[in-house]
Amino acid sequence: MRHLRDSNTKGAARLEATFRTCTQSVRRQSLLAVVCAVGVCLQTASAAPPSSTLELLVTARQWDWSFTYPDDDIVSQTLVVPVNRPVALKMTSIDVQHAFSAPTLGLEHDIIPGHEQIARFRATEVGTHKLVCAKDCGRGHAGMVSDIKVVTQADYDSWIATGGNPELVKKPMAEIGRHYYQLYGCSACHSEDGTARVGPTFKGLYGSTAECTDGPCEVTEDYIRESIEDPSARVVKGFAPQMPSYKARVKTAPPNGPSVLRPERDEMKAIIAFLKSLR
């Protein structure tokens, strides 16, 4: 009798364990179905990414976003991804804490300076989603918005083939420079209409003589290049030396060497042409 009771007890325990495992499995599958049903499948940061994962770099700064496609040498203000392909976003901030928030994709991640955050997702429907900064990051916080565009693979391939901006090659060099002025967030600190901001206005700057902390500065092409690559070298009086260096980010050919870049991809020359146009 005792042997029979022990057998019954062990059998009941095995049945309960089996039921619990099945219930947990159903719950996990139900949760996955709910997450994917809204047009996106999310992955935990610790999950091993599939070999087909598209890895992109997200840079947050006061007060804009930029997205780098390292395999294709593209930097964009809009995040464009192909539908049904796993995406890994490696996110960093170059100034203060920000928060990457795309509510309709179920994405929200704090971005802390000095730390790389990774978000993984797979959008299952074509469409456009709003991206905002969900952390108060200063006076321009409300304008720190962008779009996440989910497109077909064919449209994505076409977008990549045109360097992320098919209309750019058709524009004059000064207009191309305005594109990079906006892309790199220069407009957050430097106006083009004479309005004072965190940094000096670009209107009428080229060809003028600025009062720098170490004496007069002739605003030439060399001075502009130096100010972009080493902004603390010569600072205009009345402004704090808080601009980060863009030497590793703004593409350019050697000043005295042959260019291996297409004209519209020499970002430094385009930015200089834009500043020259702001009379």
Angstrom CA distances, 186 to 160, 178, 207, 243, stand at: 24, 10, 19, 10
pLDDT tens-digit map of 21-79: 444 443 444 444 344 544 566 554 445 566 789 999 999 998 889 999 998 888 888 99
**168-277: which CATH topology?**
Cytochrome Bc1 Complex; Chain D, domain 2 (1.10.760)
Strand pairing category for 87-93 and 54-61: parallel
Cβ neighbours of residue 202 closer than 8 Å, sequence gap 6 or more: 181, 186, 190, 191, 192, 274, 275, 278
What architecture does CATH give domain 54-161?
Answer: Sandwich (2.60)
What is the C-alpha to C-alpha distance for residues 215 and 11, in angstroms, rounded to an integer? 89
Domain boundaries, the chain: 54-161, 168-277
Tokens of residue 118, six digits? 């990774």
Which pLDDT tens digit goes with each residue over 231-269? 999 999 999 998 989 988 888 876 555 555 666 678 899
